[in-house]
Amino acid sequence: MLLATTVACTSASAGEEEGNEAASPALRWGPCTKESEGDTKKSEGKKRAGPQKGGAGATLQCATLKVPLDYRKPDGRQIEIAVSRLASRKPAQRRGVLLTNPGGPGQSGLGYPAALAGAGLPQKVLDSYDVIGFDPRGMGRSSPVTCDLTPEQQARGNFPAYAYSGGDVAREAKFARTVAQQCASSESAWMLPHTTTANTARDMDRIRAALGESEISYLGTSYGTWLGAVYATLFPERGDRIVLDSSLGPGGYDATAFRLLARGMKDRFPDFAAFAAGKPEYGLGSTPRQVKAKFRELAERLDRKPVGGVDGTLFRAITLEEMFVEGKLPELAEIWQALDKGKPPSGGPPAAENDNAPAGRHYVICADSRWSKKIGHYQRTAAHDRRRYPMLGGSTGSITPCAFWPRKGIEKPVQVQVSDRGPENVLMVQNARDPGTPLAGARKLRQALGDRARMVLVDQGGHGVYPFGGSTCANDATTAFLTTGKRLAEDRTCPAG
């Protein structure tokens, strides 16, 4: 499938592949609840405008599949994986299944096929495939995990408090340790050693087998690109046509990828600065330089005195997240405008419904790779990144709960050795100024894949290209690849429109 690899964990031997076939009965499809169809709209709508349209006219079917908690003990305890299907309405044109993942980790994917259809996934693709979604293990309706996070802890978001000094990192370490301990003592702690990307990839192969397919095509976005890479590591012969949209680097969602978010902020911010400077009614500055100065002044002011629960760290996080979607730049400008006047943003910080999303994120990224346990290491990285990327580096360079994550029972991480050897069946699509998965990381993956892949680079900002972006050039190339298998002769740069 995607990568020629070496694996430092239990990989899919012929015996395991046969076991997957035998242990995966056919799925029994039934109607989905409105709640399950809406899961992805709630989470994914935060970063892309498309899914907010919903899946009008798209009828999802849902099913549940039992899989092993621990694949090293396939006959042991089982958990449930929630699966959805948007079936092709033209069986004669159907060529297989397109498994999808919207990113995360921590996001539901059950409603993603309907979200894709509602956002304009071309009819050619919908006719060619049964589009498959699923809630990854630990997420949504797939045996959900928790860390018993309080509303106050959830309000902190995914970023450590911005570190201006080594003392700030040491203080953040106390918070990070508390969260890790809560995860390890929660009612779902029995899942902690087994909620990994590798096991989610194994679950994907159980889904494939239950669908009666010998191969799957795949569309993964953001973290979903890494999930696709790990699936390829474990099941190299199972892949057909692979689209990686907004790619992480060759190391997946590790400490390097987390720190790279500060680079993403730097890459993307000029787009917002130009937008705000061109709209004097916002009062944020009349030049991009003045808008950037306003960012620094607001962030430091909110660090000293939060407004409506928004401190400097949350302000930085909101700014990054709102820049994921081009259509949300006006909303971001209004948030800045309110905070600059000492008023909470309209509606205030989002209320936490439960902690499954942040807990699921911790479970996966902390288990997938090893993070330094030394506070001094994070004091150095925070200082380095704060100098290089001052807008966000003092936060993403600092310490997280992963530093204190219990390792007992967790199998060794999958080691993906990216190579240019293997089938030429990969198309990468990437925005030039992506704040969530910066181009710097995607270029490293592209270079490593060599002639196995082609990349379509779109001259625009934002996170996610297909089909949510407005680039006809990029969308047409991706649709052609999925429906005909035709791959570009060489990499291509596309305009935004």
Determine the Cα–Cα distance for residues 337 and 344; give it in Å rounded to an integer.
10
Q: How many CB atoms lie within 10 A of CB 353?
A: 9
Contacts of 146 (CB under 8 A, 6+ apart): 186, 187, 188, 354, 355, 356, 359
Query: What SS3 state is found at 73?
Result: coil
Determine the Cα–Cα distance for residues 374 and 379; give it in Å rounded to an integer.
9
> Residue 41: what pLDDT?
40
Residue 31 has pLDDT above 80, yes or no: yes
State the DSSP H helix or E strand holding residue 91, giving kind and residue range, or none if neither.
Answer: none
pLDDT digits (tens, 9 = 90+) for 54-74: 344 568 999 999 999 999 999
> Residue 5: what pLDDT?
32
Residue 121 has pLDDT above 70, yes or no: yes
* Nearest of 74, 76, 70, 80 to residue 18 by alpha carbon: 74
Overall average pLDDT of the 29-51 stretch = 53
Share of the chain above pLDDT 90, in %: 77
**How distant, in Å, are the alpha carbons of 40, 434, 440 from that of 380?**
38, 26, 22
Determine the Cα–Cα distance for residues 299 and 390; give it in Å rounded to an integer.
11
Residue 10 has pLDDT above 60, yes or no: no
Determine the Cα–Cα distance for residues 102 and 443; give it in Å rounded to an integer.
21
Banded model confidence at residue 3, pLDDT cuts 50, 70, 90? very low
Give buried/exposed letters for 312-341 (b at 16+ CB in 10 A, else e).
bbbbbbbbbbbbbbbebbeebbebbbbbbe
Average pLDDT value over all residues in the chain: 89
pLDDT digits (tens, 9 = 90+) for 308-341: 999 999 999 999 999 999 999 999 999 999 999 9
Residue 374 has pLDDT above 50, yes or no: yes
Over the Cα atoms of the chain, what is R_g?
A: 22
User: 467: cis peptide before it, omega within 30°?
Assistant: yes
Q: How many CB atoms lie within 10 A of CB 188?
A: 19
DSSP string, 389-443: STTTHHHHTS--GGGG---TTPPPPP-----S-S-S-EEEEEEEE-SSS-HHHHH
Name which residue leads in pLDDT, 287 or 5.
287
Query: What SS3 state is found at 323?
Result: coil
Q: What share of the chain is helix, strand, coil (3-state, %, to 5)?
A: 45, 15, 40
Determine the Cα–Cα distance for residues 383 and 314; give it in Å rounded to an integer.
19
Q: What number of helices (H) and strands (E) belong to the chain?
A: 17, 10
Residue 30 has pLDDT above 70, yes or no: yes
200-209, 251-260, 445-454 — which is least confidently predicted?
Answer: 445-454
Overall average pLDDT of the 300-307 stretch = 97
* Nearest of 266, 294, 293 to residue 393 by alpha carbon: 266
Query: What SS3 state is found at 66?
Result: strand
pLDDT digits (tens, 9 = 90+) for 382-410: 999 999 999 999 999 999 999 999 988 88
CA dihedral 258, 262, 266, 272 (to 10 degrees): 80
> Residue 399: what pLDDT?
98
200-214, 325-339, 404-418, 423-437 — which is least confidently predicted?
Answer: 404-418
Share of the chain above pLDDT 70, in %: 87
| Selection from 46-50, 51-55, 256-260 with the highest mean pLDDT | 256-260
Determine the Cα–Cα distance for residues 125 and 78; give it in Å rounded to an integer.
34
Name which residue leads in pLDDT, 153 or 4.
153
Name which residue leads in pLDDT, 423 or 196.
196
* Bridge partner residues of 101 (DSSP): 220
Edge-first strand order for the sheet with 453-461 is 30-31, 61-68, 78-86, 129-134, 96-101, 216-221, 239-245, 426-433, 453-461, 492-494
